[in-house]
Structure 1
Amino acid sequence: MRVSKRLSFYGLVFLVSLCIFFLALNQHYSNYLEHHLQPALSEVEIRPRTVNVQDPLMAYIRGSADNATLLEIQEVIDQQRRTIEEDMEDYEYPRGKYGINSSSLNDLVMEKGGRPVRSVILTSWRSGSTFFGDVLNAHPANFYHYEPLLDFGIVQIRGPPLAEEALKNIEALLNCDYSNLDQYLEYGKTHVWLFNHNTHLWRQCQAHKRICWDHRFVSKFCKLFPFQSMKLVRLRLRAAEKLLAQEKLKIRLVLLIRDPRGILQSRRHREWCPSIPDCSDPALVCADMVSDFRAAVRLKKKYPNTFRVIRYEDLSVDPYRHVKELYEFYGLNFHPDVKRFLNTHTKNDVGGVSSTFRNSKVAPFHWRTDLDFEVVEEIQKVCATAMRLWGYVMAVNATHQREFDSLTDYELDL
C-alpha cells in the first residue's frame, strides 16, 4: 500500500513539474517573439484562429506552430534584406535622371517608406514577352510579377466585368499586398510557374516550402525590393489606362506588339490555345491590335514620359540598342548583369518553345517558313488594318513570303 501511495505521489509531482515546464517554456518563447519579432508581428496581418478553450494542449500546439512560421518568415526576410543590400552596393542611382529622384536604397524600398521603380510590359500570348520579361528580371534586386492574371484563364480582358477585378489584383500586387489574394495564391500552389519565374522568390520557396504561399511572407518579401517588373498578356491597353493614371504607383508601361502572322504561328505550338477563340481566332487577335493602336495613340499624348510602344521584331533584330533605350525609359541602370543576359540569350536556339535562349534575329520570323501561304493569306485578309497600322508588310505569294522583308521602318503615328 505504501509503495502504491509513493508511486502516486511521485506521479503527481512529475505531472505538476511537466505543466510548470511547459508554462515556463511558453512564457520564454512568447517573450522572445515579442522582443525579436515585433516588426514582423506589427506589419503582417495575423488572421484570428478559433481555439477550443476546453483543449489547452491543442491551443498551445497551434500557437507554437504559428510562432514558428513567423520566426521562419523573419529569418528569410532578414537574409534577403542583407542580400539586396550587397547586390545594390555599387548601383548607380538615378538622382533625378529619368525623372526618378532616388539616391539611396531606402528611397526605393517599400518597407522603408520608399517607392520602387515599377516596370510593366503589356502584350498578348506568344509576342515575345517571356524574353522581354526575363531581360527586365536580369536586373539586380528585381521582384518579378509573372503573368499575375494567370488564374483568370485563357481570356483577353477588354473591359467590365473582369477588368475591375483584374486591375484590383494588379494594384494589390504592385503594392505588395497579398492579404486578399487567396484565389491567386491557391492557384499558384498547383501552377508553380506563377512564382518560379521570380528568381529571388522561388529560390526561397524551394528552401522554405511551408511559407512560400503564405500571404504574410510574400507581402513582406516583396516590400524588400527596390525594383518591380510585371508582364501582362491578358489585359488590353484601354483597360490598363487606369494603372498609368495611378499617381502613387508611377508605373512605366511598354506595349509590346508582334506581327499577327508570327503570333498565330507560335500559338499553334501551344496545346492550350487552338480551342480558345481569344487565343486562336485571327479576327479577334487583330481586332485587339487595332484597339491597342487607338489606345496607344491617345496614351502616348497623355503620358509621354510613362508610356511607350515597341515591336518585338525591332527589339529582336537589335536587342542591345533597344534594351538600353527601354532601360532608360523605365529608369533602370543598364547593369552588367543585363548585358550578360543578352550575350547568352540572343545568339543560339536552346530549349523548347518557351525558352528565352534564341537567335534573336531569326526567332520572330519563323512564320515565313513554317506557315503555308494559304494560311498566311487567310490571316492577312482579316488583319489588313492591324498590319497597316503597326507597319507590317503583306506577303504576295509563297515565294515572296520566304524572301521579303516583312517590316517597315516604324514609329507610332500621333
Structure 2
Amino acid sequence: MAFFGYAHSSLSKEVKQSNSIEMVRKKEFYGIAAVALICFLLIALSQKNPSHLHSRPVSFQAIEIMDNDDADSSLIDADDTLSHISIKEIINHQRNRLKRDLYGYKLPGNLNLSDLTLDTGGQPIRTVIITTWRSGSTFLGDIINALPGNYYHYEPLLDYGIVQIRGPPYADSALAVLKSLLNCDYTDLTRYLEFGMSHIYLFTHNKRLWSQCDAYPDYCWDPDFLNEFCKLFPFQSMKTVRMRLKLAEELLQDNTLNVKVILLVRDPRGTLQSRRHRDWCPGVPDCDQPQHLCSDMVADYSAAIRLNKLYPSRFRALRYEDLSLDPYQTTEDIFAFMGLNVPLQVKDFLASHTTINVGGVSSTYRDSKNAPFHWKNDLNATEIQWIEDNCREALKLWGYRRTDGASDLKDFYPLTRYDIN
C-alpha cells in the first residue's frame, strides 16, 4: 500500500506538470501572435505615413522661461527644435529677459529702457577702454560687463595680430570696425566674423551673446541675428589693446555715438613682467621692447591732455594700480563717469575677484592689492634697470617712481601723483 500510494502520488505530479507545460506553451504562442500583430500594424501604418515614425530631435532651452506676467505669443514650445526657432523668437525672449534683469535698476535721469536701446530708436550708453596688452583691461572689462544689460565687444581688433595701430595703414579700417560694432552693424564685418569662427573667445567674453551662440550656433555668426540681438542692450562696452589713444578722438567726435573713453595705464615694469608669461609676445617688437611700450605711453599722455580738455565729461584716464588698490571706490568713480549707479551684481563681482588668486595668467581672480606689484619679485635688477632707462619720461608723466638701483624692493612703493589737466 505504501508503494502504491507513492506511485499514485508520482503519477499525479507528472499529470500536473504536463498540464502546466501545456499552459505555458499556450501563453507563449499568444504572446508571439500579439507581437506579430503589433509589428504588422506598425508596418502598415509606416507605409501609409512614413514621416510619422521620424521623431524630431529633443530641443534645449537657451533662454530662461519668463514669468507668467511676461509671457507672450512668442514663447518657444518645449518640443520645438533648433531649426524651428526663429531669430524673431530669440530676440523676443531676450527682450523680455532684459526687462526682468533690469527690473528695479535705476537708470540715469528720467530715462526709460526704450530710451537706451537701438531696437526702440534710443541710444545706448557706450564705454570704450583703450589700453595695451597685460595692463589690467580684462579685469576692468569684466567689472563693467557685470552690469546687467551690458553687451561686451571684446577685443574687436583681435584679427590684426600683435601690433599697435598708431596711424596708417590700419587706422581707418580699425576705426571702421569699432564704429560698426558700436552701431550694432555686423553687415560688412566679414573678416571679423570669419576670424571669430576659429577664435571663439572673440565672442565668449560677451556672456549674454555667447549663451545664445552656444545653443544656436547657426545664428551666432549670422549678421542679421547679431544686428538685432545687439540692438536690444542699453549698455555697450568695448575694450581694445591694439589702438593708441589719439585715434579714439574720432570716436569722441561722433556725436551720434556719444561714447565715453577710458584710458587704462599700467606701470611698464608690471606690464612687461606680465607679458613674459605669454608665448605670443617674445620676439614681437611692439610687445617685448620697453622703448615701444613707453613711447606709446608718452604719446597717450599727450593725447589724454587734449581729450581731457575737449571732452571733460566723456574722457578719463585711470591707472591699473589705483583700481587694484581701491577697487570699490574706483569702480564707483567709473560708474559715476558712465552716469550709472553700481548695481549689486558688480559689487558681487568685486567681492569674488579681488581677494584670492585663482586660475592662470589670464584669470581675473586676483588679490588685487598685490597683483600690480609682482614685478618687484619677478624681475631682476638688470631687467628693472633696462626698463627704467627706456621709460624715464613715461614713468615720470604717469606718476611712477624709479627704483634708483635699490637692492631691496620689499617696501618700495612705486606710485606718486600724476596730472593730465
- TM normalised by structure 2 equals 0.80
- Note if contact 1:373-1:401 (Cα within 8 Å) is conserved in structure 2: no
Superposed displacement of residue 74, structure 1:
1.6
CA distance in 2, matches of 1:252, 1:183: 26
**Which of 117, 134, 139 is the equivalent residue of 1:126?**
134
Partner of 2:220: 212
Partner of 2:417: 409
**Which of 89, 104, 122 is the equivalent residue of 1:75?**
89
Partner of 1:224: 232
Superposed displacement of residue 210, structure 1:
1.1
Partner of 1:247: 255
Partner of 2:204: 196
1:42-191 correspondence runs (5 A): 71-95=85-109, 102-191=110-199
CA distance in 2, matches of 1:405, 1:85: 46
> Structure 2 regions of 5+ residues with no counterpart?
1-72, 75-81
What amino acid is aligned across from residue 100 of structure 2 in structure 1? Answer: E
- Note if contact 2:294-2:391 (Cα within 8 Å) is conserved in structure 1: yes
**What SS is found at the alignment partner of 1:402?**
coil
Deviations 1:198-232 (A, max 9, x none): 01001111111111111111111000000000001
CA distance in 2, matches of 1:106, 1:291: 39
CA distance in 1, matches of 2:408, 2:249: 39
What amino acid is aligned across from residue 83 of structure 1 in structure 2? Answer: R
CA distance in 1, matches of 2:84, 2:132: 39
**What SS is found at the alignment partner of 2:219?**
coil
**What SS is found at the alignment partner of 2:239?**
strand
What amino acid is aligned across from residue 182 of structure 2 in structure 1? Answer: L
Partner of 1:43: none
**What SS is found at the alignment partner of 2:334?**
helix
Partner of 1:349: 357
- TM normalised by structure 1 equals 0.81
What amino acid is aligned across from residue 121 of structure 1 in structure 2? Answer: I
**What SS is found at the alignment partner of 1:323?**
helix
Q: Report the structure number with the largest CA radius of gyration.
A: 2
Superposed displacement of residue 313, structure 1:
0.3
- Note if contact 1:123-1:129 (Cα within 8 Å) is conserved in structure 2: yes
- Note if contact 1:139-1:335 (Cα within 8 Å) is conserved in structure 2: yes
Give yes or no for the alignment of 1:374 onto 2:382. yes
Deviations 1:58-93 (A, max 9, x none): xxxxxxxxxx86952222111111100111121101
Superposed displacement of residue 363, structure 1:
0.3
Deviations 1:264-311 (A, max 9, x none): 000000000112111111000000000000110111001100000010
**What SS is found at the alignment partner of 2:86?**
helix
**Which of 192, 212, 235 is the equivalent residue of 2:243?**
235
Deviations 1:384-412 (A, max 9, x none): 00000000000122524332100013332
Deviations 1:155-207 (A, max 9, x none): 10001220000000100000000000010000001101100000100111111
**What SS is found at the alignment partner of 1:407?**
coil
Partner of 1:20: none
**What SS is found at the alignment partner of 1:228?**
strand
**Which of 263, 271, 274 is the equivalent residue of 2:271?**
263
CA distance in 2, matches of 1:103, 1:292: 34
CA gap 1:70/1:254 in 2 versus in 1, 3 angstroms: farther
CA distance in 2, matches of 1:147, 1:331: 24
- Note if contact 1:145-1:229 (Cα within 8 Å) is conserved in structure 2: yes
Partner of 1:335: 343
**What SS is found at the alignment partner of 2:349?**
helix
> Structure 1 regions of 5+ residues with no counterpart?
1-35, 38-67, 96-101
**Identical aligned pairs, as a percentage?**
52
RMSD (Å), alpha carbons = 1.7
Partner of 1:3: none
- Note if contact 1:122-1:233 (Cα within 8 Å) is conserved in structure 2: yes
- State how many pairs are aligned: 344
- Note if contact 2:127-2:338 (Cα within 8 Å) is conserved in structure 1: yes
1:310-325 correspondence runs (5 A): 310-325=318-333
What amino acid is aligned across from residue 86 of structure 1 in structure 2? Answer: R
CA distance in 1, matches of 2:388, 2:267: 10
- Note if contact 2:272-2:288 (Cα within 8 Å) is conserved in structure 1: yes
**What SS is found at the alignment partner of 1:210?**
helix
Runs of 4+ in 1 over 4 A off after TM superposition: 68-71
CA distance in 2, matches of 1:216, 1:332: 30
CA distance in 2, matches of 1:80, 1:373: 54
Deviations 1:345-376 (A, max 9, x none): 00000000000000000000000000001000
**What SS is found at the alignment partner of 1:403?**
coil
Deviations 1:315-345 (A, max 9, x none): 1000000000010101122101000000000
Give yes or no for the alignment of 1:389 onto 2:413. no
Deviations 1:136-162 (A, max 9, x none): 000001000001000111110001220
